[in-house]
Amino acid sequence: MTERSAPARAMPAVGRRDFIRLAGATAAGWLALGAAADRMRVVASITGLPLDDELTRRNMTDTTTSRLGGLIGGLKQRGWVEGVNIRFEVRSSFGAPAKLQAAIRELLDLKPDVILTSSTIETAAVMAATTTIPIVFATANDPVGNRFVASLAHPGGNVTGFTSSTAEMGGKWLQLIEEAVPGLTRVGILFNPATTPRAGRFFLDSIEQEAAASGMTVEAVPVDSAADIDAAISRFSNPPRAAMIALVDSFLVINRQAVVAAAARYRVPMIYPFHYFVDAGGLMSYGPTLEVRAADYVDLILRGTRAGDLPVQSPRKYELIINRTVASSLGLKLPFTLLARADEIRE
pLDDT for position 39: 85
Greatest Cα pair distance in the chain: 68
Are both 126 and 185 inside the same structural domain?
no
Q: Output 137-145 pairs: Cβ under 8 A, ≥24 positions apart.
A: 137/161, 137/162, 138/67, 138/162, 138/294, 139/163, 139/164, 140/164, 141/165, 141/197, 141/202, 141/248, 142/167, 142/197, 142/198, 142/202, 143/312, 145/197, 145/198, 145/202
Are both 149 and 199 inside the same structural domain?
no
Are both 117 and 147 inside the same structural domain?
yes
The model's pLDDT over 277-310, given as tens digits with 9 standing for 90+, comes to 999 999 999 998 876 688 999 999 999 999 999 9
- pLDDT confidence band for 14 (50 / 70 / 90): very low
Are both 226 and 265 inside the same structural domain?
yes
**Domain of residue 339, CATH code:** 3.40.50.2300
Nearest to 312 by CA among 297, 332, 292: 297
Domain boundaries, position 220: 169-287+319-346
**65-79, 146-160, 188-202, 268-282: least confidently modelled range:** 65-79
pLDDT for position 9: 34
Are both 283 and 298 inside the same structural domain?
no
Q: Which residue has the higher pLDDT, 62 or 123?
A: 123
How many domains does one find in the chain? Answer: 2
Are both 177 and 257 inside the same structural domain?
yes
Are both 226 and 327 inside the same structural domain?
yes
pLDDT for position 236: 97
Are both 197 and 283 inside the same structural domain?
yes
Are both 237 and 156 inside the same structural domain?
no
- What value, to the nearest 5°, has the Cα angle with vertex 120 and ends 116 and 122? 50
Nearest to 43 by CA among 100, 107, 109, 106: 107
Are both 34 and 126 inside the same structural domain?
yes
Are both 30 and 139 inside the same structural domain?
yes
- Which H helix or E strand runs over 196? none
Q: Which residue has the higher pLDDT, 16 or 239?
A: 239
DSSP 300-322: HHHTT--GGGSPPB--S-EEEEE
Flag whether pLDDT at 21 surpasses 50: no
| Number of neighbours of residue 239 by Cβ within 10 angstroms | 7
Q: Tell me what percent of the residues of the chain surpass a pLDDT of 90.
A: 66
pLDDT for position 88: 93
Contact 339, 319 (CB under 8 A): no
pTM of the model: 0.82
Flag whether pLDDT at 56 surpasses 80: no
Are both 214 and 191 inside the same structural domain?
yes
